[in-house]
Structure 1
Amino acid sequence: MGSEAPRLSVVVPVFNEEEVLPLFAERVRPVLDGLLVPYEVVAVDDGSRDSTPIVLDWLRRRWPELRVVRLRRNSGHQNALTAGLRRARGAYVVSIDVDLQDPPEAIGDMLRLAQDANLDVVHGVRADRSTDSPFKRWTAGLYYRLMRRVAGTAVPHNAGDFRLLSRTAVDALTELPEQLPVYRLLVPWLGLPSGEVTYTREERAAGRSKYPLAKMIRLALDSVVGFSAAPLRVATWLGVLGIALCGVLALAGGAAYLSGNVVPGWTSLLVAVLFLGALQLLCLGLLGEYVARIFTTLQGRPAYVVAFDSVSENESIEDVLCQL
């Protein structure tokens, strides 16, 4: 890789992406070589269970600027991104997914904008989501509207984890004591000078999406719980609403008793019990999310464990195979 410190680092979280990795390298390397600046590509293998480590080792031997960081177990996309940010050495750091839905050709535009306008953050903003399904477009729109209500209008609409950060921004992010970071909210929260580069989102180059509905829901929950106490207040207001409804039912029952129109039955009672039970469970669940975060923080366990870094360790392909 040479002794010259990289000007640009490109962080790429990778999990079970054996099919798309050669396509990623084939498309990204000419783009980065054409920028004419020293660079490194930090591929963070998030505990892949397929042939991803072998493909990464094969690519590293042919691409000197490729750096491989392997985590011992699957720690999640945001934690893999954290590992890459902490180990990136460039004055500017770009994060991008390996699936090529975010065009690497936009990296040059991001870098030029950051240098010309002296910006610390450049968000990649999707011009449209035509490649997504109608359901995903609807849920994504709902997510960003909710996040702007929770975290403020500084959150760019349709901006994911494709962004450029200055060294100042990276250092500020890695100093935060976040156990479950959501960078699409944390980065705007820093309040650093920022800009945007728009692009058209493409189809996945190969393989399957690693963000199914369950993970999307988990991300939304982490975003809300990790950035706002609003759900606790919602639980309080739901309790007030439940008390009010019970009061109305009590008054209605008293009026029926006084008028002599009491009809034996269990439907109304069953509905009231089920409603109050569901309300209590919802409030307990919301409270449990916050208690779980406190518990995780007090445990003090690292969010990820690095098995090796190709910059500091000269591992052979046999060593990689032994860790699978």
Structure 2
Amino acid sequence: MNRLCIVVPCYNEEEALAYTNKELISIIQRLVEAGKVGRGSFILYVDDGSRDKTWNIIEEYHKESPFVYGLKLAKNSGHQNALTAGLLAAKDYGDMIVSIDADLQDDVSVIEEMVDKFIQGYDIVYGVRKKRDTDTFFKRTTALGFYRLMRAMKIDIVYNHADYRLMSKRAVEVFSRYEERNLFLRGIIPLIGYRSTVVTYDRKLRIAGESKYPFSKMLSMAFEGITSFSIQPILMITNLGLLIVLFSILAAIYGFYSYLSGRVVAGWTSIILSIWFIGGVQLLSVGLIGTYIGKIYIEVKQRPRYNVETNNLLEKQHEES
């Protein structure tokens, strides 16, 4: 019987964990009773260097329930790295791995539908929101703008999908070979290429705690995704440079014509504005190119993306041996 692992990255989630743990254990028990997943199925909480009592709570749940395991990172490494750590740790113990955020705003009831899709032969099942009625106008507008921007940058990304998905064991094994340090999982997972589908759901309001994704982090993720997966910005700058050169040539022709016709007017303002504009384009170009060079610098160092401090999932290996 196929074993299910639910990977839950956590950062300062002490207020939400009681509800989260109860709901996820209930889901696993129901699937086990229905004969859809094996009795070795489990939840893996990944503590991403929380500063509250998150890890202590996870350890207590691990002692109380055979379904709960925990992985503690030595320091805060970011959501994408924490999720990656959980996926790579779980692939040796689970046949299908579902990733979901600890706030459970993503509807856990569709996990069963994801499992059904896996049984039908799909390796990747994306959780996709039906609508964004629970978002503020600002968040809804910026989120939709984000997906449209990704598409415009030629990045293969699933519309209205975050990191709520099911992956088969072999899909995670392929993912483990993607060793880049600048992680953007929403862009990497579609590159795997295995058979995939989607399930839709309505996103809920957060039960407890506060969002770990303010606008600044969303903006940072968008920039990370663009610069990690697309060279379109560099091509746009090249085209802009060519366009500016063309306008400069036309302006030079017009200036020469004005000089010959005797209609020369002092152009201090136009000269200064031109200098500022071209200077701004140059600075923007240098900064963007510097970002790409910086990413190359980070990749060639090949430093670990995260360090594991505690992993009680290893106990599962001894239990099964």
Q: TM-score, normalised on structure 1?
A: 0.90
Q: Distance in 2 between matches of 1:216 and 1:244?
A: 36
Shift of 1:29: 1.4
CA offset digits 1:136-165 (Å, max 9, x no partner) = 11222122223234446x632111100000
RMSD: 1.8
Matched, 1:309 2:311: yes
Identity of aligned residues (%): 40
- Aligned residue for 1:100? 104
Distance 2:207 2:178 in 1: 34
**Maintained 8 Å contact 1:121/1:169:** yes
User: Partner letter of residue 24 of structure 2?
Assistant: V
Q: Deviations over 1:254-296 (max 9, x none)?
A: 3333333333352111110110011001111111111011100
Q: 1: distance between equivalents of 2:47 and 2:285?
A: 38
Task: Using the TM superposition, name which of 104-113 and 140-149 deviates more.
Answer: 140-149
Map 1:10-159 onto structure 2 (within 5 A).
10-36=6-32, 37=38, 38-88=40-90, 89-115=93-119, 117-151=120-154, 155-159=157-161
Whether the 8 Å contact between 1:8 and 1:39 is mirrored in structure 2 is yes
SS of residue paired to 2:314? coil
SS in 2 for 1:252: helix
- The TM-score with structure 2 as length reference comes to 0.91
Aligned to 1:321: none
Q: 2:190 aligns with which of 188, 191, 203?
A: 188
Q: 1:280 maps to what in 2?
A: 282
Residue 173 of structure 1, CA deviation: 0.4
* 257-266 vs 291-300, greater mean Cα deviation: 257-266
Question: What is the letter of the counterpart of residue 313 of structure 2?
Answer: V
- Contact 1:120–1:169 (Cα < 8 Å) also in 2: yes
Aligned to 1:246: 248
For the 8 Å contact 1:101–1:204, the answer to whether it is kept is: yes
What does residue 201 of structure 1 align with? 203
1:237 matched to 2:233? The reply is: no
The aligned residue for residue 35 of structure 2 is none
Say which SS state the counterpart of residue 35 (structure 1) adopts.
helix
Which of the residues 214, 217, 224 maps onto 1:215?
A: 217
Check 1:313–1:166 CA distance in 2 against 1; reply closer, same or farther (3 A cut).
closer
Partner SS state of residue 290, structure 1 = helix
Structure 1: gaps of 5 or more residues: 315-324
- The number of residues matched between the two structures is 308
Consecutive unaligned residues of structure 2, counting only runs of 5 or more, are 33-37, 317-321
Aligned to 2:3: 7
Could you tell me which residue of structure 2 aligns to residue 177 of structure 1?
179
SS of corresponding position for 2:108: coil
Shift of residue 218, structure 1, vs aligned partner: 1.4
